[in-house]
Amino acid sequence: MLTRFKLSLRQLILLAVVVGIAAPALIVLALSDAFMRRSVEPILEGQRAAVLNLASTSLVDPLWVLDTQATQRAIEQLLADVSVCAVSLVEDRPGAKELKQSKCDPSWPTVEMAAAVRREGVVLGTLTVSFDDGATERLVKERQTQIAAIVGLQVVLGGIIILMVLYWRLVRPIDVLKRQASAIAAREPHPVMDWHRGDELGELGEHLNHTGEQIDGLLADMEAKNTQLRQMAMYDHLTQLPNRTLFREVFTHEASFARRNGQQLALLFVDLDRFKNINDTLGHAAGDRLLLTVSERLRAAVRGSDLVCRISGDEFLLLLREAASVETVQLIVQRMLGSLSEGFELASGQQATVSASVGVAMFPQDGENFDELVRHADMAMYQAKQAGRARYSFYQPDMDAALAARLEMERELAEAIRSGQLVLHYQPILDARSGTISSVEALVRWQHPVRGLLYPGTFIPVAEDSGQIREIGAWTLEAACQQLARWKTMGRHPGSIAVNLSASHFRDARLIDQLSELIRAYGVGKGELTIELTESTVMSDSETSMQTIQALRGLGLSLAVDDFGTGYSSLAYLKLLRPQKLKVDRSFVRDLPDDPDDCVLVRAVLGLAEALDIDVVAEGVETEAQRDFLLAANCNQQQGYLFARPMPAEELSGRLRTWP
Measure the CA–CA gap between 127 and 7, rounded to whole angstroms. 69
| H-helix segments, 235-243 | none
Q: Tell me 8's DSSP state.
A: -
Measure the CA–CA gap between 131 and 114, rounded to whole angstroms. 11
Residue ranges of the chain with pLDDT lower than 50?
1-3
pTM: 0.52
How would DSSP label each residue in 363-412? ETTT-SSHHHHHHHHHHHHHHHHHTTSSSEEE--TTHHHHHHHHHHHHHH
Measure the CA–CA gap between 488 and 482, rounded to whole angstroms. 10
Cα–Cα distance list, 521 to 154, 439, 477 (Å)? 104, 22, 12
- Which CATH fold would you assign to the domain 244-397? Alpha-Beta Plaits (3.30.70)
Angle CA 371–373–378, to nearest 5: 95
Task: Supply the pLDDT for residue 203.
Answer: 74
- Which CATH fold would you assign to the domain 413-658? TIM Barrel (3.20.20)
Measure the CA–CA gap between 427 and 441, rounded to whole angstroms. 5
- Whether residue 584 contacts residue 558, with contact meaning beta carbons closer than 8 Å, is answered with no
374 contact partners, CB below 8 Å, separation of at least 6:
267, 269, 317, 361
Task: Supply the pLDDT for residue 1.
Answer: 42
Measure the CA–CA gap between 18 and 15, rounded to whole angstroms. 5
Could you count the other beta carbons within 10 Å of the beta carbon of residue 269?
28
Asked if the bond preceding 191 is cis, omega within 30° of 0, the reply is no
The values of phi and psi at residue 161, to 5°, are -65, -45
CA 428 to chain centre: 58
How would DSSP label each residue in 95-133? TPPPEEEE-S-TTS-EEEEEEEEEETTEEEEEEEEEEET
Query: How large is the C-alpha radius of gyration of the chain?
Result: 61
Asked if the bond preceding 242 is cis, omega within 30° of 0, the reply is no
How would DSSP label each residue in 191-208? PPP-----SHHHHHHHHH
Domain definitions of the chain by residue range? 244-397, 413-658
Single-letter amino acid, residue 562:
D
Task: Supply the pLDDT for residue 568.
Answer: 54
- Whether residue 250 contacts residue 319, with contact meaning beta carbons closer than 8 Å, is answered with yes
- Whether residue 638 contacts residue 630, with contact meaning beta carbons closer than 8 Å, is answered with yes
By C-alpha distance, which of 75, 77, 110 is closest to 91?
75
What are the CB-based long-range contacts (under 8 Å, 24+) for 323-327? Answer: 323/264, 323/265, 323/266, 323/362, 324/263, 324/264, 326/362, 326/394
